Chain A
Amino acid sequence: MTFLSPLFLWALPLAGIPLVLHLLNRRPPQKVVFSYIGWLKEAHQNFMPKKKLQEWLLLAVRTLLLLFLVLFFSRPVLQSGFMRSSQSQNSSIIVVLDVSASMGAVVGGVEVLEVAKQKLQQVVARIPGGVKLGLVEYSDRVESQLAPTAEHARILSAVLGSKVAPRPTNVLPALQMAMQMLGNQSAGNKSILIVSDQASNGWEQAKNAQGHWQGFDPSIGIVAWELSGPVSNSGIAEANLQLSEEGTLKGRWLASVDPATHSNWQLKLDGRGVDGGSLSELKDRSVELPLQAQLPEGGFYSGTLELSPDALRCDDIFYLAGRVPKGFHLLVVDGKSGLAPSDTESYYLRLALESPRDPRLESIQVIRPELLPQEHLANYDAIVLANTGPLEAQEEDLTKWIEGGGGLFLTAGSKWPKPPDVPLKLFRSRGLRSERQSVEPPKPDAPLLSDIAGLEGFQWNQIMVQDYIALEPESDQHVLLRLADGAPLLIQKQLGRGFVLCLTSSIDRSWTNLPAKPVFAPLIRELIAALADPLREQTSLNGFVDEALRIRMPAGVREATVVAPDGSTAGARVDKDGYLVWQAPNQPGLFRVMTDKKSSDFSFAVNIRDLAKEGDTSRISERDLKDALPGCPQQWIGYKTSGTDIVVASLEGRDTTFDCLAVALAAFFAETFLAWPKRKRSRVVLKAETAGAV
């Protein structure tokens, strides 16, 4: 027999209390001279044998009651399982080892996972060779697995080689895997040993599932081993930085605060501290704090938000990366004139950009086509040719300007050249089409459009196009918006380092009602911003472990090398849309993206998802374990319990804790039944003595 809470055995002498009281009560009797004891003797002879028997029974029952109460708290386990050699051949144990980020917590100077390894080493050494051992390492998924085998050295080697995974916790997939493994074993004793800090966040899904999953077997014994108790922890839940209208980087971050940790925080960007403070004076457990940094426009940044290290390190650092977008200068060449402002092509364009003014818009210049030769194109980040005719000599300058990285927005109209020409001859026209049509919704992942807020809910069929220019389809162009008949409405085309957008209808209301629709302003703002600054999507270069990142690369970059935080490098290709897709990073930190042009190098940040949950150090209870695995014989081994023999005993033994409680309860009721006449007599005596005193 082994005890899961042997500390309570110190209370075992309590079981002797009834005997001690019995002996103490045997004090010298009161002497009374009585008239005649003949009748007393007669009654005494009738009464004493029964009385003696009752007294001894009561003594025994009271001793039993205390003895089994102490045993109940000591949680005895009867060893009758695989330690018997005859049964060991049919026994299988799956060790389910938590390697989630929280297992990297340092308690007493030792990482919890290291503690797990050491203790598991001792447990494995105690398990007979005939017992098959399996291993499932898990975070929020199964990290690795080893099928049950009698070669314990393999399991031990795998355990000793395990590392903390930068992931949150979810025990459910591991339990499913372990039960599946045991399901494949022949009949016999089957147990799962869950070695974890037993943080409650990792059990949420298992508790919700309540065993309603395929392969759940309530006959499998569960031993949950809690390796560490709650620790003091302040952590970062999430953080972000964005360019504000004032041109500074502003953001917020969420912290969970444990006053016991006395944490300070610091925001470091590009190697220098730019913001910081203390969490010590905060009273709330969860707070939102502002971040601010002044960085040059158009430049990449990367850095960390760090807290003073505490026991749980994984949420003490948060990586941040991005690019400060730059403001742009816009030139609008308006090919149509009129008496009223609303007669011009540029009227709705200016409304969209200036009401209210786009913070990124530094200047807007509207000119007639004939004034274009006087403009120095290099002064502009984006140019709009709104319903312009042939531009003759300026077309070559414009093309070079685009190829050098400029962005051109071409809108159709009555002034356009005759088919098949279009301004700058970037496309081939098939001529004017006059047919009232609606607009098809764009694809959810359409370049440039997918990030525009509110677009997904817009009723695109409200936009009606009466006239448009049909263009020849070309392989190097991307259609962003189409009409109902499939004809392109908005086309993107790469040209050197820059690119062109072409709207095949007018930008005023003469050919379409688009400018009157609410989608017009955000659409135009984002399209112009994208033309002016193709990397504007990179204001945030943050991702999460195991989640692919899609990063807009500077124009013309086709290949890059990515250096991971651990120093490993890997090549990466840029897709035809100009994006670098980085598949599922497996570690948090800053990843450096290196291109052939040093000025285009930048970093992206990878963090652990659900840090707020992973940083929550609360633990599950035995009740939670029962909810998650209903019906399974269960054994909870708390972190205060030391000694691996308890774990071994739990794996192979039968928990008799509640049997002890049942015996104690039975003894309690027996005591009540036996002592009832005695208590009744005491009341009678009290009444009689009171009467005598009177």
Chain B
Amino acid sequence: MAKNSYLDPIIIAQLGNLQLRARRILEGLYSGHHINLNRGQSQDFSEHRPYNPGDDLKRIDWKIYGRTDRLVVKQYEEQSNVSATIILDDSASMGYAWGGRPSKLEYAKVLAAAFAYLVVSQHDAVGLLSTRHSLPANSSLGHVDRFFQELDQITPRGTWNPDAIARSLGTAMKKAGFVAIFSDLMAPSEPVINALRSIHARKHEVMIFQILDPAERELPYSGSVMFEDSETGEQLRTEPGAMREFYRRAVSERLTAFSHVFRGMGMDYLLLTSDTPFDRGLGAYLSWRGLNV
């Protein structure tokens, strides 16, 4: 099986539980990218070890080299220095799926689980926040199990109130940290942007994963269709076949606007569709964390 197949959302969705899925994703990620998770950014020196090709040249201890004529690199005590909170949009719109693909929420949950694994494996703390669920950040391995249990219980329902989420985050995260938001951002733009701006204003590093179903971009319906909003129940009768171009243009404009606004504010923004292999989302995080990918 090709490497990418391990990261295909449809295949991953068939695996037993969320934990297993997250592990599988990380295994696929590791096998593909030779990630060195031992970054050792802490100032507490631990020991020396012989230099291996590929090690960062900055970490060579030149004093030892001058004395012994041997190339050794410094190793430091690793410690948790980041608190990461995963905000998961659990509104009804996240339950949308088309063409046999996993729903956006399913996709987001798997990605969030893998993300949590990744964070904890680096001794960082990870927490969870959604409309109806909350888990404070912690870096212990036992915490990961609770994280997964909590994630499993999240179902798509109701609307998403980004302002309320921002306020909850203010309570849960007193110190500045890393905030990963998994949402389709399918809500009126202004409240969303304002809420995310307020999160960013608290010195948090914000990374936004906007997750859409491909059908939400292409609108593959024809004939006369009565669309019903999954969150509000509002209805709209139209002809998607005839207006497809207009819709694509509207979606494209909206996504471009999000990208400009969020990046303009210094936030990381990544658009994913539910058929995108998971490594893209995780790869973006790892790049942010300065890891070699």
Q: Please list the residues of chain A having a beta carbon within 8 angstroms of any beta carbon in chain B.
A: 25-27, 29-44, 46-48, 51, 678, 681-682, 684-685, 688-689, 691-693
Are the CB atoms of B246 and A30 closer together than 8 Å?
A: no
- Choice from A31, A39, A691 contacting B220 with Cβ under 8 Å: A691
Are the CB atoms of B243 and A682 closer together than 8 Å?
A: no
Are the CB atoms of B243 and A43 closer together than 8 Å?
A: yes
A32–B221 Cα distance when bound, in Å, is: 9
Once A29-B226, A681-B242 are accepted as A-B contacts, the answer to whether A692 and B215 lie under 8 Å apart by CB is: yes
Are the CB atoms of B246 and A37 closer together than 8 Å?
A: no
Stretch at the interface among B12-20, B27-35, B93-101, B165-173: B93-101
CB-CB under 8 A from A27, the residues of chain B are 224
A389–B16 Cα distance when bound, in Å, is: 152
A554 to chain B, nearest CB (A): 101
Stretch at the interface among B55-63, B143-151, B247-255: B247-255
A32–B98 Cα distance when bound, in Å, is: 11
Pairs A–B under 8 Å by Cβ, sample size 30: A27-B224, A30-B224, A30-B226, A32-B227, A34-B96, A34-B228, A34-B230, A35-B184, A35-B186, A35-B213, A36-B230, A36-B231, A37-B227, A37-B235, A39-B247, A40-B227, A40-B247, A43-B243, A43-B247, A46-B246, A46-B250, A47-B238, A47-B242, A48-B238, A48-B243, A51-B239, A685-B220, A685-B241, A691-B220, A692-B98
Are the CB atoms of B224 and A689 closer together than 8 Å?
A: no
CB-CB under 8 A from A30, the residues of chain B are 221, 223-226
CB-CB under 8 A from A691, the residues of chain B are 99, 220
A244 to chain B, nearest CB (A): 89
Interface residues in B, total, Cβ within 8 A: 45
Most chain A CB within 10 A, of B98, B215, B218, B236, is at: B236
Per-position 1/0 for B184-219, Cβ under 8 A of A: 101110000000000000000000000001011011
A30–B220 Cα distance when bound, in Å, is: 13
Interface majority SS (helix, strand, loop, mixed), chain B: mixed
Once A29-B224, A30-B224, A685-B222 are accepted as A-B contacts, the answer to whether A35 and B242 lie under 8 Å apart by CB is: no
Cβ-closest 6 pairs across A and B: A36-B186, A35-B96, A35-B93, A43-B246, A29-B224, A43-B247
B281 to chain A, nearest CB (A): 19
CB-CB under 8 A from A38, the residues of chain B are 186-188, 229
Q: Please list the residues of chain B having a beta carbon within 8 angstroms of any beta carbon in chain A.
A: 92-96, 98-99, 104, 184, 186-188, 213, 215-216, 218-231, 234-239, 241-244, 246-247, 249-251, 254
Are the CB atoms of B226 and A32 closer together than 8 Å?
A: yes
A29–B228 Cα distance when bound, in Å, is: 12
Closest to B233 in A: A33
A47–B236 Cα distance when bound, in Å, is: 13
Are the CB atoms of A32 and B236 closer together than 8 Å?
A: no
Are the CB atoms of A689 and B236 closer together than 8 Å?
A: no
A33–B233 Cα distance when bound, in Å, is: 9
CB-CB under 8 A from A39, the residues of chain B are 186, 247, 250-251, 254
Are the CB atoms of A35 and B216 closer together than 8 Å?
A: yes
- Choice from B224, B229, B239, B243 contacting A37 with Cβ under 8 Å: B229
CB-CB under 8 A from B239, the residues of chain A are 51
B8 to chain A, nearest CB (A): 15
- Choice from B95, B219, B242, B254 contacting A678 with Cβ under 8 Å: B242
Once A32-B227, A47-B243, A681-B242 are accepted as A-B contacts, the answer to whether A41 and B222 lie under 8 Å apart by CB is: no
CB-CB under 8 A from A692, the residues of chain B are 98-99, 215, 220
CB-CB under 8 A from A41, the residues of chain B are 236
Once A36-B231, A692-B215 are accepted as A-B contacts, the answer to whether A44 and B236 lie under 8 Å apart by CB is: yes
A402 to chain B, nearest CB (A): 113
A691–B221 Cα distance when bound, in Å, is: 12
Once A35-B96, A37-B234 are accepted as A-B contacts, the answer to whether A682 and B241 lie under 8 Å apart by CB is: yes
A38–B229 Cα distance when bound, in Å, is: 8
Are the CB atoms of B224 and A681 closer together than 8 Å?
A: no
- Choice from B218, B234, B250 contacting A42 with Cβ under 8 Å: B250
CB-CB under 8 A from A25, the residues of chain B are 224
A693–B213 Cα distance when bound, in Å, is: 15
A284–B186 Cα distance when bound, in Å, is: 86
Given contact pairs A44-B243, A684-B241, a sample of 17 additional A-B residue pairs in the complex whose CB atoms are under 8 Å apart: A30-B223, A30-B226, A32-B225, A32-B226, A33-B227, A34-B229, A35-B93, A35-B95, A35-B184, A35-B213, A36-B229, A37-B235, A39-B254, A684-B244, A685-B241, A688-B218, A691-B99
CB-CB under 8 A from A684, the residues of chain B are 241, 244
Are the CB atoms of A688 and B220 closer together than 8 Å?
A: yes
A691–B101 Cα distance when bound, in Å, is: 13
A25–B229 Cα distance when bound, in Å, is: 24
A41–B254 Cα distance when bound, in Å, is: 13
Once A36-B187, A40-B238 are accepted as A-B contacts, the answer to whether A29 and B231 lie under 8 Å apart by CB is: no
CB-CB under 8 A from A31, the residues of chain B are 225-226, 228
A280 to chain B, nearest CB (A): 65
CB-CB under 8 A from B254, the residues of chain A are 39
A681–B220 Cα distance when bound, in Å, is: 11
B237 to chain A, nearest CB (A): 6
CB-CB under 8 A from A689, the residues of chain B are 220, 222
A37–B184 Cα distance when bound, in Å, is: 13
CB-CB under 8 A from B95, the residues of chain A are 35
Closest to B224 in A: A29
A692–B92 Cα distance when bound, in Å, is: 22
CB-CB under 8 A from B235, the residues of chain A are 37
Are the CB atoms of A29 and B246 closer together than 8 Å?
A: no
A42–B189 Cα distance when bound, in Å, is: 13
Closest to A31 in B: B226
- Choice from B218, B228, B238 contacting A33 with Cβ under 8 Å: B228
CB-CB under 8 A from A51, the residues of chain B are 239, 242-243
CB-CB under 8 A from A681, the residues of chain B are 241-242, 244
A81 to chain B, nearest CB (A): 49
Closest to B228 in A: A33
- Choice from B93, B186, B249 contacting A43 with Cβ under 8 Å: B249
Most chain B CB within 10 A, of A31, A38, A684, A691, is at: A38
A380–B229 Cα distance when bound, in Å, is: 129
Closest to B217 in A: A39
Closest to A42 in B: B250
Closest to B218 in A: A688
CB-CB under 8 A from A34, the residues of chain B are 96, 227-230
CB-CB under 8 A from B188, the residues of chain A are 38
A66–B97 Cα distance when bound, in Å, is: 45
CB-CB under 8 A from B184, the residues of chain A are 35-36
CB-CB under 8 A from A42, the residues of chain B are 250
A55 to chain B, nearest CB (A): 9
CB-CB under 8 A from A688, the residues of chain B are 218, 220
CB-CB under 8 A from B104, the residues of chain A are 35
CB-CB under 8 A from B93, the residues of chain A are 35-36
Are the CB atoms of B230 and A40 closer together than 8 Å?
A: no
CB-CB under 8 A from B213, the residues of chain A are 35
A512 to chain B, nearest CB (A): 108
CB-CB under 8 A from B216, the residues of chain A are 35-36
A44–B244 Cα distance when bound, in Å, is: 9
CB-CB under 8 A from A682, the residues of chain B are 222, 241
CB-CB under 8 A from B186, the residues of chain A are 35-36, 38-39
B28 to chain A, nearest CB (A): 24
Are the CB atoms of B246 and A47 closer together than 8 Å?
A: yes
A47 to chain B, nearest CB (A): 4
CB-CB under 8 A from B226, the residues of chain A are 29-32
A51–B246 Cα distance when bound, in Å, is: 11
A43–B240 Cα distance when bound, in Å, is: 10
Closest to A26 in B: B224
Closest to B99 in A: A692
Once A32-B226, A46-B250, A689-B222 are accepted as A-B contacts, the answer to whether A37 and B242 lie under 8 Å apart by CB is: no
